[in-house]
Amino acid sequence: MSDLPRLLRTLETLPGLSATKSEWRLRTGDAYPLMADLLKPTGHIDDRMPCISPLLGLHYHSVHEYDDGTAEAVFLDDTHDCSSFPVERHERAVMTPDMAGFCRRICLALGLDPETEGLSLPRGIYEVGCYYPLESFRFTVVLALKPTAVEAEESLHAVAALRDGPFVFLTATPTRFSDRSAHLITARNVLARALIQCLLVSENTLASTKSWSADIAAFRDKVVPKSGPVMAFFPTPPRTPWADVTIRFVDGYTVFVNAAGVTQRLSYTEMGMANRRESKPSKQWEFFYEIAENHGAIDFDMGNARKNKSWKYELSSDLRSFFHIKDDPFIYDESTGCWQVRFRLIPIQDL
Ligand SMILES: [Zn+2]
C-alpha cells in the first residue's frame, strides 16, 4: 500500500504548495519519490525546520544561525523538550513542485493528451491537458487543489463559466458536491473525479485504475455522438492531416477510407452525399468521382464547366465536415493551374 493518498492530500493542504524537502518527505511518506524530481527551489529560505516525534507529532524547530556560519534547529517550547539538530543552508531551501510536469505525469497515467489551451484559471486550478478521443472532440481536463469542499466547488463553477460544454474536473481527494454542483455536473456532462480514485502506483510510477477506464469510457459514450446508419462524421483520429487520408473508390457508389489507420467502407449516403429527394448520389459525389478518375486534379473544363467552381466549394465543405478536418482538402497547383486533392484519392482499379 503506497502513501499516494497522503501525497494527494498534501497537495491540497500544504499552503502555497511550498515547503522544505524534509517537510515534503515527512508529509508524503512512501509517496515522496513520485514527487521528488519535480520539486524546484522557490528561492526562499525557511526559518523553521519540521521534526516528527511520537509525543509531539509534526512540529517545527526555529533555525538559529551562529557567527561561524553554522545553524541549528531549536525547539522553543516551555512544556516539551526536543533536541536541537544542525541544519545546512541547502536543507532550508523552500521547494515547490513543477505543476506542469506533474500534470504531464497525470496525462501519461490516465491516457490523456498533454496539450493545453493556456486557459487563464484562478489560483490553485491547473489545466492538466485534454481528453481528445477523435478529431474535433476535445475536452479540457483541469485539476483543482483546494483544502475544502467549498473551495473545490467554487473551482468547479469557475471552470464551468470559462468553458462551454463538457469537461473533466479533477480534485486530488474526494469532495462532497452540493445539489447545485451536482445539477451543473449532470447538465453539462462534467466528469468529476478525485485522483485518488483514478490513480495507483505501479512499479514506482503512476498508473490508472480500472474505475478510471470505466469512467472515461462512459464519459465518451455521453459526449461523443455515435455513428448511426447514416454517418454524420468519420471517427478521424486527433491531429490527422489530409496527407494521412486515403479514399479509394470501390465502385461508383462506395469508397474505402483510411484516415491515419482507421478504416471504413462507406457508401455515398453514409458520407452525407446523397441527393435527399431521390436518394441518388449528389452532384458533389459525381464530381468527386470524376476528380478521382482525373488523378485527384480538378480541371475546371471537365464535366460541367459552369458549375465546377461551386461544386468544388461544396465538395470541400462536405469533406471537411465529414472528416472534421479544418483545412481545405484541395490545394491550388500553380504549375498546372488546377486544384489538387491533398489526400490520396484512388479511382476504381481493375483487379
Ligand atoms: Zn523536534
Write out the residue range of the structural domain in which residue 292 sits. 242-350
How many angstroms separate the alpha carbon of residue 62 from the centre of ligand 1?
A: 10
How many angstroms separate the alpha carbon of residue 42 from the centre of ligand 1?
A: 25
228 found inside a domain? no
Shared domain check, 264 and 199: no
231 found inside a domain? no
**Mean pLDDT calculated for residue range 186-209:** 95
**Mean pLDDT calculated for residue range 108-117:** 96
313 found inside a domain? yes
Shared domain check, 153 and 60: no
The three cell numbers locating residue 241: 492531416
Q: Does the pLDDT at position 14 exceed 80?
A: yes
Residue 114: closest CA among 122, 124, 123, 102: 102
* Average predicted confidence (pLDDT) for the chain: 91
Q: Does the pLDDT at position 93 exceed 90?
A: yes
d(CA 337, CA 276): 34
How many angstroms separate the alpha carbon of residue 39 from the centre of ligand 1?
A: 24
* Sequence-separated (6 or more) residues with CB below 8 Å from residue 307: 283
Model pLDDT, residue 239: 94
Shared domain check, 88 and 105: no
**Mean pLDDT calculated for residue range 259-265:** 95
Q: Pairing relation of β-strands 262-267 and 274-275? A: unpaired
**Position 77 confidence tier, pLDDT thresholds 50, 70, 90:** confident
Q: Does the pLDDT at position 227 exceed 80?
A: no
Shared domain check, 248 and 207: no
How many angstroms separate the alpha carbon of residue 98 from the centre of ligand 1?
A: 29
Q: How many structural domains comprise the chain?
A: 3
How many angstroms separate the alpha carbon of residue 76 from the centre of ligand 1?
A: 9
How many angstroms separate the alpha carbon of residue 57 from the centre of ligand 1?
A: 9
234 found inside a domain? no
Q: Does the pLDDT at position 180 exceed 80?
A: yes
Model pLDDT, residue 349: 84
Question: Which residues is 125 bridged to in the sheet?
Answer: 144
Shared domain check, 56 and 165: no
Residue 347: closest CA among 234, 256, 271, 241: 256
- CA distances 52 to 4, 27, 58, 61, 110, Å, are 20, 10, 5, 10, 34
| The domain boundary residue, chosen from 63, 97, 131 | 97
How many angstroms separate the alpha carbon of residue 126 from the centre of ligand 1?
A: 35
Shared domain check, 194 and 92: no
Q: Does the pLDDT at position 158 exceed 60?
A: yes
The sign of the torsion formed by the CA atoms of 196, 198, 200, 203 equals negative
How many angstroms separate the alpha carbon of residue 87 from the centre of ligand 1?
A: 13
How many angstroms separate the alpha carbon of residue 48 from the centre of ligand 1?
A: 11
106 in Cβ contact with 35 (< 8 Å): no
Model pLDDT, residue 259: 96
d(CA 315, CA 297): 13
Shared domain check, 161 and 90: no
69 found inside a domain? yes
Model pLDDT, residue 181: 96
Model pLDDT, residue 304: 64
235 found inside a domain? no
How many angstroms separate the alpha carbon of residue 75 from the centre of ligand 1?
A: 6
Q: Does the pLDDT at position 1 exceed 60?
A: no
Output the DSSP codes for 162-179: H--S--EEEESS--PPPH
Shared domain check, 296 and 279: yes
d(CA 209, CA 5): 14
Shared domain check, 11 and 78: yes
Q: Does the pLDDT at position 232 exceed 80?
A: no
6 in Cβ contact with 28 (< 8 Å): yes
Q: Which of 115-119, 278-282, 284-288, 304-308 has the lowest mean pLDDT?
A: 304-308
Shared domain check, 269 and 214: no
Q: Does the pLDDT at position 242 exceed 90?
A: yes
d(CA 35, CA 103): 12
Q: Does the pLDDT at position 273 exceed 70?
A: yes
Q: What percent of the chain has pLDDT over 90?
A: 74
| The domain boundary residue, chosen from 97, 123, 157 | 97
| The domain boundary residue, chosen from 169, 191, 223 | 223
**Mean pLDDT calculated for residue range 48-70:** 92
Q: For residues 344 and 299, which has the higher predicted lDDT (pLDDT)?
A: 344
Model pLDDT, residue 337: 81
pLDDT tens for 292-341 read 998 888 877 766 666 777 888 889 998 998 999 999 999 988 888 888 99
Question: Is 289 in a helix, a strand, or coil?
Answer: helix
Model pLDDT, residue 305: 63
Shared domain check, 86 and 115: no
Alpha-carbon Rg for the chain in angstroms: 29
**Position 229 confidence tier, pLDDT thresholds 50, 70, 90:** low
Q: Does the pLDDT at position 217 exceed 60?
A: yes
301 found inside a domain? yes
CA atoms within 13 A on the CB side of 182: 5
**Mean pLDDT calculated for residue range 160-175:** 95
171 found inside a domain? yes
Q: Does the pLDDT at position 46 exceed 90?
A: yes
Shared domain check, 86 and 104: no
Q: Does the pLDDT at position 258 exceed 70?
A: yes
Output the DSSP codes for 190-214: -EEEEHHHHEEEETTEEEE-HHHHH
Question: Which residues is 254 bridged to in the sheet?
Answer: 251, 267
d(CA 17, CA 94): 10
